[in-house]
Amino acid sequence: MTLLLSRDDVANVLTMPDCIAAVEGAFAALARGEADMPQRAVIKVPPHHGLFLGMPAYLGGDAEALGLKLVTVYPDNPAKHGLATTLGTLMLCDPRTGAVTAIMDAGYLTAVRTGAASGVATKFLAREDAAVCVVFGAGAQARQQLVAVNHVRPLRKAYVLDVNAEAAAAFARDLGEQLGLDVEAVDDAEAAVRGADIIVTASSSPTPIFDGDWLQPGTHINNIGSHAPTTRELDTKTVVKSYFVADLREANLAEAGDILIPMEEGAVTADHIAASLGEIVTGTKPARTDAEQITVFKSCGLAVQDVSTAVAVAKAAREKGVGTEVAL
Ligand SMILES: NC(=O)c1ccc[n+]([C@@H]2O[C@H](COP(=O)([O-])OP(=O)(O)OC[C@H]3O[C@@H](n4cnc5c(N)ncnc54)[C@H](O)[C@@H]3O)[C@@H](O)[C@H]2O)c1
């Protein structure tokens, strides 16, 4: 039988702490060479400004997982169609037989697993005393980013900035209530960046959203929004002055304008990528080395995050009797 899970079903059983644990394990397995994950297939849909991404992965080791996520990114969706920018569906298979064991909505799952990767990065790279987080972008990803950051570094204050003031106000209200945290919508990017311990860039902006000169020593940045060679949220100054950690070096070099554009400009070489996150998790490469270091985690999003999260979702759903079993 195949378990069908709607977005609400996934939201009912998936928690950020469980997801952070699953995703941290997946990054470690990837670094140990226990995963098979081809670079994702990206299809452009130019008339509709859309991207269609096919993301398969096999994860070996203790938490074995096999599956494929189809995710689409359509920035015009919210305004034109009343739909989320990022939509997804995931097919999970039995690694022993290849049979499809679950099909689930992966829109919410994507936001949570993307938050979880930033949670893992923040745990290893942010200062222990980090207490103020600034979030650029107030969309679906940004919400789970703040949830994850607050889980690994309980915050004193968060600020949110968005070109859409209504979205920023709704974010501040909702996340303030959800996390019991002081979250304020602001529009002075320079003041926010100068006061930040942790910065999240989770916007749909194709060009840099703050000036790297504003960064204070010791800041950690989770850079998750852009994932095309020609788009970026960070400027070259930010990248040059940072200890730069990729989710996966190969994925960053295939997709991440945040590192590829400074490379094209001759400001850095590929060696500027100090580590893949899994190497930090497994201790092969150092995490933050001092309180002054500026650290960047560049996330493009990896299929191992999806399949590891989906295994946790399917297990919890079956235990709780959530979802519908069907014969395909
Ligand atoms: N790294 C990953 O694994 C991963 C996963 C999913 C999505 N994404 C990417 O994350 C980005 C956000 O996705 P989403 O689903 O939250 O989209 P969304 O449309 O829900 O939210 C994006 C927000 O960014 C705001 N924005 C645009 N330009 C801005 C600027 N200059 N400053 C501040 N805010 C700005 C928009 O107004 C919007 O509110 C997209 O680019 C998406 O492709 C990355």
pLDDT (tens digit, 9 = 90+) per residue, 63-102?
899 999 999 999 999 999 999 999 999 999 999 999 999 9
pTM as predicted: 0.97
Question: What is the structure's pLDDT at 289?
Answer: 94
Pocket-testing residue among 204, 230, 252, ligand 1, by greatest number of atoms within 8 A of Cβ: 204
- Percentage of the chain with pLDDT > 70? 100
Query: 185 with 167: CB under 8 angstroms?
Result: no
Q: Which residues line ligand 1 (CB under 6 A)?
A: 73, 78, 85-86, 110, 114, 136-142, 161-164, 167, 202-205, 209, 224-227, 299-301
Calculate how far, in angstroms, residue 101's C-alpha sits from the geometric centre of ligand 1. Answer: 31
Ligand 1 atom closest to Cα of 77?
19
> How would residue 62 be classed by pLDDT, with cut points 50, 70 and 90?
confident
Question: What is the structure's pLDDT at 28?
Answer: 97
Calculate how far, in angstroms, residue 37's C-alpha sits from the geometric centre of ligand 1. Answer: 25
The overall longest dimension of the chain from CA atoms, in Å, is 58
Query: 171 with 199: CB under 8 angstroms?
Result: no
Ligand 1 atom closest to Cα of 207?
31
Tell the residue nearest (CA) to atom 24 of ligand 1.
203
Average pLDDT (125-134) is 98
Calculate how far, in angstroms, residue 264's C-alpha sits from the geometric centre of ligand 1. Answer: 24
Question: What is the structure's pLDDT at 88?
Answer: 97
Question: What is the structure's pLDDT at 66?
Answer: 98
CA distance 13 to 10: 6
- In terms of CATH, what superfamily is 2-110+304-326? ornithine cyclodeaminase, domain 1 (3.30.1780.10)
- In terms of CATH, what superfamily is 128-300? NAD(P)-binding Rossmann-like Domain (3.40.50.720)
Q: Where in the chain is the domain with CATH 3.30.1780.10?
A: 2-110+304-326
Q: Where in the chain is the domain with CATH 3.40.50.720?
A: 128-300
> What are the DSSP E strand ranges found in 84-235?
86-93, 100-105, 132-136, 157-161, 183-185, 198-201, 220-223
Question: With 90 as the cut, is the pLDDT of residue 179 above it?
Answer: yes
SS3 298: strand
Pocket-testing residue among 80, 81, 85, ligand 1, by greatest number of atoms within 8 A of Cβ: 85
Calculate how far, in angstroms, residue 278's C-alpha sits from the geometric centre of ligand 1. Answer: 24
Write the pLDDT tens digit of every residue in 190-216. Answer: 999 999 999 999 999 999 999 999 999
Output the CA–CA distances (angstroms, integers) from residue 77 to 32, 104, 129, 161, 227, in the order listed: 39, 21, 39, 20, 18
- Listed residue (10, 77, 28, 42) closest to 228, CA to CA: 42
157 is catalytic: no
In this structure, what DSSP letter does residue 286 have?
Answer: -
Write the pLDDT tens digit of every residue in 274-316. Answer: 999 999 999 999 999 999 999 999 999 999 999 999 999 999 9
Query: 307 with 9: CB under 8 angstroms?
Result: no
| Structural tokens at position 312 | 């946790």
Question: What is the structure's pLDDT at 227?
Answer: 87
Average pLDDT across the chain, whole number: 97
CA distance 133 to 122: 11
Pocket-testing residue among 23, 77, 86, ligand 1, by greatest number of atoms within 8 A of Cβ: 86
